[in-house]
Amino acid sequence: MITCCDLAPPHVRAIAPYQPGKPISELARELGLAEADIVKLASNENPLGPSPLALAAAQDALHDLALYPDGAGFALKAKLSEKFGVAANQIVLSNGSNDVLDMAARAFLSPGTSSVHSEHAFAVYPIATQTVGAQSIVVPARDYGHDLAAMRAAIRDDTRVLWIANPNNPTGTFLPWAEIEAFLETVPPHVLVVLDEAYGEYLPPAERCDTAVWLTRFPNLLISRTFSKAYGLAGLRVGYGLGHPEVIDLLNRVRHPFNVNLPALAAAEAALDDAEFLARSYALNAAGMAQLVAGLAELGIETVPSKGNFLLAKVGDAARINTELLKRGVIVRPVANYGLPEFLRVSVGLAGQNARFLGALKACL
Ligand SMILES: *Cc1c(COP(=O)(O)O)cnc(C)c1O
């Protein structure tokens, strides 16, 4: 008997599903531990929690849960429009920025086309590509990061999308913006460049760049950003894309109606006003990063320099160390599925959480 599952397209059956960080509740069940005794540094979440202004706005919005959200996201777009100096028709709102990536794949890719991404890049790029039956072209990394010259050379006539994360996850590698800008000059107009800036808010001020100003020069650029990381709203699922009106129009055609929920819209709007929280998140991350880098160096563990809110640590037998850390109630992220079997990725937490990770790691080395 042939079933519907047997007949699912081969490109769907071949997808390696996204592997999220292990939830605290799951490890608590497995170990019989209290959730409060578990430290999760596995999903690059903000250890400060959500922005207080965003939390209050989301709570207020709960009274209106019987209503559909504003499907056009007028108020949030107005704020983003002012922040980035772009028109409202250059903004698409999304259910987390993963949704921008997925919309880009569904709007621009199809069977017989390809997308280009770097080795050790974000897992959603190949998933989004394969979902629509297109082919992923994987370009070998240089020093764990993107090799832009090789990525340029990998572009084919059938290439429609090229993915860049800066900083990149899971490696934390960062390319100076001038290199990306020079790269954009060389990309042919038939290729949409998706510039994923999920960790942009964690860059030191001197290394930040207002890439939205490039949109007038590069109509084939799509910038994706999120409220999941520095704004602390990962659980609400809200992000956005900035691009040329024609690009955004195409994304809106494949966008699910009401893709950003009502409390998420309210929280995101309020979060944009919470400069104090953003500054606090940045400062905590910088201090925690220094703590982790120093602590790992003390243990003789190599790290890859990171500009994100996470760090790759070369622990050797990462599968074994990960199991040992879990037994000690510490959840980090194994990255063998990213071609990095000797590494664990650890998110920057509160000082006490970072210390707990370093202590547990020392005990299991
Ligand atoms: C975390 C992350 C995102 C953001 O995901 P959301 O869907 O916005 O939660 C996007 N790109 C990269 C590279 C990430 O690491």
All structural domains of the chain with their residue ranges: 10-49+275-364, 54-271
- C-beta pairs of 276-282 under 8 Å, 24+ apart in sequence: 277/48, 277/51, 277/52, 277/53, 277/54, 277/231, 277/232, 278/51, 278/201, 278/230, 278/231, 280/48, 281/46, 281/48, 281/201, 281/230, 281/231, 281/232, 282/201, 282/202, 282/230
122 CB within 6 A, ligand 1: yes
Structure tokens at 237: 């699922």
Ligand 1 centroid distance, CA of 239 (Å): 9
Q: What pLDDT is attached to residue 169?
A: 97
Residue with tokens 């104090």: 276
Q: Which residue is closest in CA terms to ligand 1's atom 10?
A: 198
Q: What pLDDT is attached to residue 90?
A: 98
- Looking at the DSSP bridge assignments, the partners of residue 257 are none
pLDDT tens profile 187-233: 999 999 999 999 999 999 999 999 999 999 999 999 999 999 999 99
The atom number, within ligand 1, closest to the CA of 43 reads: 1
Mutate to test the pocket of ligand 1, among 228, 309, 348 (most ligand atoms within 8 A of CB): 228
165 CB within 6 A, ligand 1: yes
Q: Which residue is closest in CA terms to ligand 1's atom 14?
A: 198
CATH 3.10.180.10 fits 10-49+275-364, yes or no: no
Ligand 1 centroid distance, CA of 210 (Å): 19
Residue 127's nearest CA partner among 142, 113, 141, 106 is 106
The yes-or-no verdict on residue 19 having pLDDT over 90 is: no
CATH number of 54-271: 3.40.640.10
Q: Which amino acid is at 333?
A: R
Q: What pLDDT is attached to residue 75?
A: 98
281 CB within 6 A, ligand 1: no
277 CB within 6 A, ligand 1: no
Segment 93-107 shows an average pLDDT of: 98
| Residue 85 contacts residue 215 (beta carbons within 8 Å) | no
Round the average pLDDT of the chain to a whole number and report it. 97
- What's the rounded Cα separation, in Å, for the pair 289 and 33? 28
Q: What pLDDT is attached to residue 20?
A: 87
The yes-or-no verdict on residue 157 having pLDDT over 90 is: yes
In sequence order, the 6+-apart residues with CB closer than 8 A to the CB of 227 are 54, 233, 236, 238, 239, 264, 267, 268, 271
Ligand 1 centroid distance, CA of 146 (Å): 17
